[in-house]
């Protein structure tokens, strides 16, 4: 079994911001965090990356745009992202190797699920009404899938709590 297939119980990524006016994953992450995650996700599954690898790629991209970046900025940001459970880090000889804790698709699905769950808890009536009224069939189907996943998670959490009390 290669590393990408190993089952792991990792903490949920810590994401507490949602910026509606920003594109893509920048709705949830800062610009540098999003750039770093794109580099990490571009690697083949199970293949980690070092700060040096990320720095060199970002430095070259930004140099062309005359917006350079320091190695220590990338290093500190990646260490912070590991503490936030966005990256997993392993020591390999003299370097630290970073791996994504979730694929891009898993990351987006978790975040969308978390937002929908929060909306359902805080504003269940309007949220359900809006989801039922989605005009695009694909978006409506995806919303139903996420709602089903939320219901499954809640049921599992309730069952775990009930077992813990017995």
Whether residues 39 and 65 share a domain: the answer is yes
Please give the residue range of the domain that contains residue 110.
105-165
Is 3 within a domain?
no
Contact 25, 34 (CB under 8 A): yes
Which pLDDT belongs to residue 4?
41
What tokens appear for 130 in the block?
Answer: 């809006």
What is the reported pTM?
0.70
pLDDT of residue 36: 96
Measured CA distances, 150 to 20, 21, 53, 115, 144 (Å): 22, 25, 37, 11, 10
| Tens-level pLDDT at each residue, the chain (166 residues) | 344 444 444 577 877 778 888 888 888 899 999 999 999 999 998 899 999 999 999 999 888 888 889 999 999 999 999 999 999 999 988 889 999 999 999 988 888 888 877 887 788 788 777 877 777 878 777 777 777 777 788 788 888 888 876 6
CB-based contacts of 25: which residues, under 8 Å, 6+ apart?
34, 37, 38, 104, 107, 108
Question: Are residue 115 and residue 72 in the same domain, yes or no?
Answer: no
């Amino acid at each position: 079994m290669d590393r990408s297939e190993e089952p792991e119980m990792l903490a949920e990524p810590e994401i507490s911001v949602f910026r509606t006016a920003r594109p893509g994953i920048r709705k949830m992450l800062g610009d540098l965090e999003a750039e770093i995650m794109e580099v990490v996700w571009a690697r083949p599954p199970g293949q980690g990356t070092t700060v040096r690898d990320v720095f060199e790629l970002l430095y070259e991209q930004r140099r062309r745009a005359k917006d350079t970046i320091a190695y220590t900025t990338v290093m500190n940001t990646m260490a912070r992202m590991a503490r936030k459970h966005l990256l997993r880090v392993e020591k390999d000889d003299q370097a630290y190797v970073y791996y994504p804790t979730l694929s891009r698709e898993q990351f987006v699905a978790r975040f969308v699920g978390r937002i929908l769950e929060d909306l359902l808890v805080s504003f269940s009536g309007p949220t359900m009404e809006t989801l039922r009224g989605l005009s695009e069939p694909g978006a409506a189907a995806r919303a139903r899938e996420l709602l089903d996943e939320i219901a499954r998670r809640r049921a599992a959490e309730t069952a775990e709590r009930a077992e813990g009390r017995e």
